Each structure stands twice: as structure tokens, then as C-alpha cells.
Structure 1
Amino acid sequence: MKRTRSALIAIAAAAALAVTGCSSQTAGTPAAGDAAEKASFTDVSIIVPADPGGGWDQTGRAIAKVLTDDGIVTTAPVTNVGGAGGTIGLAQLRNEKDPATLMVNGLVMVGAIETNASQVRLEDTTPIARLTDEALVVVVPADSEYDTLEALVEDIVDKGQEITVTGGSAGGADHILAGLLLEAAGLEGAEITEKLNYTPNAGGGEAVSLIIGGKVDAGISGIGEFQQHIEKGTMRALAVSGAEPAAQLPDVPTITDAGYDVVLTNWRGVIAPGGISDAERAELERIVAEMHDSDAWQSELETKGWADAFLTGDELDAFIEQNISDVTGTLENIGLI
């Protein structure tokens, strides 16, 4: 008989981190301590710490498009730096000298920092904004033998490493969800790591190729990354991870409805280099807030099915601190660290 366990981790979106110091300044601005200190950026650079095709890449390019199309900044070039759940990009951000730099981040990075024992942490950067929140979806290839989530999970429990699951980076939202499903099915700690054969990817495009090509038995990712393939019929959706059915996939049951007491949502946001001045942080927050308030950004949210989870300032700092604690505890509970 299937045992379920409550694992509600509605980790609604959030860019990264804790409090940082003030050091670097924009050329031409008054010295630190001057009451009139201000920063003004006409251009920004955007780092996507993942390969093209995934949720972070979609987010970074949507940000760049809205910022430039609406004239909020003149240019916003996007650079992909994939690998290790974003921690390679995070290391690059630490060495970034230009304060007018935004890097996409989110729940995946929080977990990857722990699983990769990263020497650079979110606390070493400057939080700018939490932007979006999104449910995940569990899919199988179109010709898969699995018609229900229960059939898939029970086969993993029975056959272990014979069943392959793919998704984003190790320790990220997709990996956490796979672990939570096995925990809800009655496995614990070491049993989960022993049974779960999870193939991580640096970008969503790689996972899509593995699933459509029948190289794996199942996949997990944000709804936005798999939706078009589900609609085309090259993937079959088994369940979504939100508390309620997803508007984009109204006929797909939630994981809870499928019999497993698990709810998990993924957040995404933007951070900046650590050590930038208060004025520089305020200017980046202004730019991102103007983007958030635009009709173009609201249209992007609707088109991609992202929930609006905008947050900045002290509330963002507190959210990030709590998020790091929650994710670390979850990774320990399901044996991923």
C-alpha cells in the first residue's frame, strides 16, 4: 500500500541572497557617503548561467527583450555560461567588474550550491529581484508504457536504477521533485539515492532531446520548457507539481491528485555582483521594477505561464535567507546531500 508524506515546499520564486557590502561605483558618480550619490545605467549585461533552451535562458532573453523594446535600456546582451546548476556562472559573476550586470538565478542554484559544494554562494552576490514562480511537470516519451504517475513511481521503487529520469541540474528543482516523489512513495534518505537514476542537464534543450529520443524513461522540468512538446504530442504529461491544476495544462492532474502529497514550485529572479554600492543596487532595482510594471513583461508572464512573484529589498533578502535554509533541509531529508 502506498504511503504518502506531506512535502509542501511551495518555494515561490526568488532571486538570490543575503546582505552585501558597498564598494564599487559607477563612473562619474559622487564618492560614497555623498548624500547626492546616484547611479545611472543606460546599458546592462545579462548572464544566463545555463545552456540555451531552458527556463533560465527563456527568462534572461525575455528580460533582455522587454528592457530594450520598451527603451528602459539601450542594450542588454545575453551571455550563456552553463554548467553545475549555475555555479559556474556564479563564479564568473564574482569576478565581474561591471556593476550593470544582471544574472538569472533561482531555486535550482540554491540546491546546486549545496550539492556541488560551491565555494561561491548566493550570500556573495547582491539580490535585485524575485520575478516569477512556476510549477513543474513530469513527462514521459509519447510512446511510453507509463500512463499514470503512480505507474512510473512504483516502477522506480521496484526496479531502481533501471528506470532513468532526466531534468535540470543536480540538486535543482527537478531533482528535488524526483526525490520528494520517492519519499512520498515510502522511501527514505539512502534508499532514495540508491533507487533514483537521475540524469542532470545544463540546459532544457538537452533534456528535451533525451525524452523525445526515448533515451530516458521520464523527465521533469518547468511547464514552460515542455509545454510545446506536450501540445505537439511528442511528450505525454503525467502530473504537475502545483497545488492546483496548471492553466496551460488544464487536463493534467496535480501530483497530489495523482496520490502523492507533494507540492513544489520553482522561482526565478536576478542578482548582481557582490560589493556594488547602494546606489548601483537601487538603479538596478529601478530598471527591473520598470520592466516588471510594463505591459510587455505582463504579456510575457501570460504567454509563458509564469506566475508574477515580484519582490525586492529587505523582503527579498529575508526570503532568500529562509529559502536557503529550507532547500538545504530538504536536500538532507531526501538524501541528496
Structure 2
Amino acid sequence: MRRDTFLKTLAALAATGALPAAWAQAGANLKMMIPANPGGGWDTTGRSLGKAMLDAKQAATVTYDNKGGAAGALGLAPFLAGAKGDPNQLMVMGAVMLGGLITSKSPLNLMQATPLARLTTEYNVFVLPANSPHKTMADVIAQLKKDPGSVKWGGGSRGATEHIAAAMIAREAGVDPSKINYVAFRGGGEATGAILGGNVTIGGSGLSEFAEYISTGKMKAVAVTSGERLDSAKDIPTLKEQGINVEIGNWRGVFGGPGISAAQRKGLIDAIVATTKSASWQDALKKNDWTPALLTGDEFTKFVEAEFANLRDVMTKAGMIAS
């Protein structure tokens, strides 16, 4: 049998589940949909996962497709349409996508795609531009109470965790959350530029995206959304210890294409689990201050469904969407 014929035969057997799922993934040419612009948390997550899959020999090649906007909806739409039945396509996503779909009342149904795994949780940090007249979160709250619209909150798309956190902070401060002035950006790079340029009053994102600028004094960190101070940033106070009863995490995960078989789903999950045990992925966790939060298969499906319900409740109570 000719080599090319042999390889085609193996590929066909892998697609039907006749070969071990692990082999199918090791020989796969994966395509990673990243529904965000370069430079942000999803982009870093997707590329770190892809690199780790290569290093762990869970994929032969990985290519990336960035389509940012609308809290991931602009990338979700072509993924739902183009990845149907294809076990070699993945999409990174997370809490931001759920929030964006809820606030926009999008007709897209995320659950048409195949839930594979939750990977990490990351807490948001709020920062001030270096030249800000404010010094603390208390200063920002004081201005918020005086004139809610004068405080420009910069962050990711509408429905992002930093948007939800800003609304929750306003509610805790006795301010109508619907009156907050939230400026949404398409990616982490744009938000960072706006903060560095002093174009927003306060900005929020994952610690990994701001760490360099905080350490060099170009941004001043005034609060983190975790329940306790982070080990990697002990000098940044939590909102709770400043009298603001708000705690919220930004989890990220990965979905497969719609309509893949149970065997194909298991093969992808097995490949992801093996990848998370690799030195490459462990290095990414440490470098980006991500908290590992692996949850796979049906348990992840249940988690996402519960998150949709929880976020809708929180956002309704915060005045971000109509009840």
C-alpha cells in the first residue's frame, strides 16, 4: 500500500473512532478559534493551550483564527457554522462570552457547540492611570457617588466580568448601576492603551494583562476581585477588605464543534487533560497568574448552564439587563 493511501486510511479510521482517540489527536491538525483580538486573555489562553498541545504531542499542528468583537459573538457565529462535525476545531471562551450573549440578547446558542473543558480562573484587577488624580478605590467611589457618569470604567466587551464587577461596585456604593459609564473595548490591547493614555478613569482586566505596567509604575492597582489577596500580588487589596462586598472570577474554557461524536469529544477531552499535565501548560499558569480550574465533559456542561442562570440573575439585579 502506498504511503499516502495508508495515511488517508488511518485518517478515515480515526475519524470514525476505529483508532484510539489519543492517536487521532496526536495526528490532528487543529484549528483554534479565538473570538477576540490579539493581546487579551482569550488570545493568551488559546495560544498557550495550542503551544502546550504541541509540546505534549496532543496535536501535530495548531493554527489560530482571531475574530474579535461583541464579547466573542463575532467569532462564535462562524465557529458554529464552520466547525459542525469537525473534531479538529476548538474555540476558547469563558464567562465574558456568557455575559455578552446575555446583555446583547444574541440569537446565537453557545450550547449548540460541544462543551469540552473549563481550564482556568483569573481574577480582575482595577487600575488607575499613572497620572490619575485619584489614589485609591475610595477616591473613585467618592467621585462615583457625586457624579456617576463622570467615572469612565474601561474594560472588555459589554458583559465582561469587569463590566459586571463595576455594576456590582456601584450597587454596593448605593449608586444606580444603570448609570455607570462603561467604555467597552474589543480587546485587551485597546483597553490597555486607553488606560495608559488616561482616556478612562479606571480600568479592569486580568492581572496578567496589567502586571508589567503595574510593576513599572505606569498603572496603579487599587483593587482585585478575589476573596483574598493573590499570592502573586500581595500588595493589591481586595474589594472586600475595602468595604465593598464584591467577589467575581473570570473563568476560561474550550468548546469543540457542534455535532461531533461522543468518541471524538472524548478524544479531545483526553487530549486537553493530558495537555494540562504538561510542563508547558504549567509554565503558562505560572506566567499568567492563572488559577487551574479543570472541569471536563458533562460536569462542564452543567457548570456552563448554571453560569448562564447565575450571571443573568446577577446582571438583572445590577440593572445591566431588563428583568
Say whether residues 1:214 and 2:198 are aligned partners. Answer: yes
The 5 A counterparts of 1:93-242 are 93-97=79-83, 98-187=86-175, 191-194=176-179, 196-242=180-226
Deviation at 1:38, TM superposition (A): 5.7
Mapped contact 1:166–1:201 kept (Cα < 8 A): yes
Paired residues for 1:1-337 under 5 Å: 28-29=12-13, 39=21, 40-41=24-25, 42-97=28-83, 98-187=86-175, 191-194=176-179, 196-337=180-321
1:80 is aligned with what amino acid?
A: N
Across the aligned residues of Structure 1 and Structure 2, the Cα RMSD in angstroms comes to 1.7
Matching residue's letter, 1:202? R
Give the deviation of 1:99 after TM superposition: 2.5
TM-score calculated relative to the size of structure 1: 0.87
In structure 2, the gaps of 5 or more residues are: 1-9
Task: Classify 1:63/1:193 alpha carbon distance in 2 versus 1 (closer, same or farther; 3 Å).
Answer: same
Which consecutive segments of 4 or more residues in structure 1 shift more than 4 A? 36-39
Q: Name stretches of at least 5 consecutive residues in structure 1 with no aligned partner.
A: 1-25
Q: Contact 1:247/1:305 (CA < 8 Å) preserved in 2?
A: no
1:72 offset after TM fit, Å? Answer: 2.1
Q: For CA contacts below 8 A with separation 6 or more, give which structure has more relative contact order.
A: 1
Shift of 1:285: 0.6
SS at 1:244's partner residue?
Answer: coil
Aligned twin of 2:5:
none
Instruction: Select the structure that is richer in helix.
Output: 2
Deviations 1:134-169 (A, max 9, x none): 111010101111111111022112112122110011
SS, match of residue 76 in structure 1: strand
Structure 2 CA distance for partners of 1:154 and 1:121, relative to 1, 3 Å: farther
Contact kept in structure 1, 2:56 and 2:274, CA below 8 Å: no
Q: Residue 276 and residue 226 in structure 1: after superposition, are their counterparts in 2 closer, same or farther (change >3 A)? A: same
State TM-score, norm by structure 2: 0.91
* Structure 1 residues 88-132: Cα deviation after superposition (integer angstroms, max 9, x where no partner): 111111112433111110000010011111111221110011000
* Residue 37 of structure 1, CA deviation: 7.4
Q: Is the 8 A contact 2:143 2:150 kept in 1?
A: no
What are the Cα deviations for residues 214-269 of structure 1, in whole angstroms up to 9, with x where unaligned?
A: 11111011111111111111100001010110122111110001110111111001
**Superposed CA offset, 1:154-190 (max 9, x none):** 2112112122110011011110000010011113xxx
Q: Distance in 2 between matches of 1:247 and 1:178?
A: 23
Distance 1:290 1:145, change over 3 A: same
